[in-house]
């Protein structure tokens, strides 16, 4: 089992992810090699909540120009984590 700090990279805060809270869903940026089981265990261990489901999305980097030269932004993976009914992550809700 992987260490939760190796799996979770951070919580994503956008308008779309803020709207997901209505459905008791949180969005995290995770390691590229993390699978759904690793993500589930990391969330449960870090925040002491019960995870109902995990959906993942691989996001590819975008092409950008930097100092007149072409380049790419980094690719990343995000996880949509649905918690069991009645559960919430207090640390994230308090920050909002």
Kindly list the domain boundaries of the chain, sorted by start residue. Answer: 4-95
Averaged pLDDT for residues 15-22: 88
Which ranges of 8-84 does DSSP label H, i.e. alpha helix?
Answer: 15-19, 36-47
Q: What is the pTM of this model?
A: 0.87
Q: What is the pLDDT of residue 94?
A: 63
Instruction: Please state, rounded to an integer, the average pLDDT across all residues of the chain.
Output: 91
* pLDDT band at residue 95 under the 50/70/90 scheme: low
Helix (H, G, I), strand (E, B) or coil at 78: strand
Residue with tokens 């120009």: 65
DSSP 14: S
Asked if pLDDT for residue 20 goes beyond 90, the answer is no
CB 28 within 8 Å of CB 78: yes
Averaged pLDDT for residues 56-63: 96
Say which CATH topology domain 4-95 has. Answer: Alpha-Beta Plaits (3.30.70)
């Amino acid at each position: 089992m992987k260490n939760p700090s190796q799996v979770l990279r951070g919580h994503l805060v956008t308008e779309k992810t803020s709207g997901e809270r209505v459905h008791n869903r949180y969005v995290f940026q995770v390691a590229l090699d993390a699978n759904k089981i690793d993500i589930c265990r990391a969330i449960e261990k870090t925040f002491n909540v019960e995870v109902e489901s995990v959906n993942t999305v691989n996001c590819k980097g975008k092409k950008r120009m930097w100092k007149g030269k072409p380049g790419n932004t980094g690719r990343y993976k995000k996880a949509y984590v649905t918690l069991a009914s009645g559960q919430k992550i207090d640390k994230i809700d308090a920050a909002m």
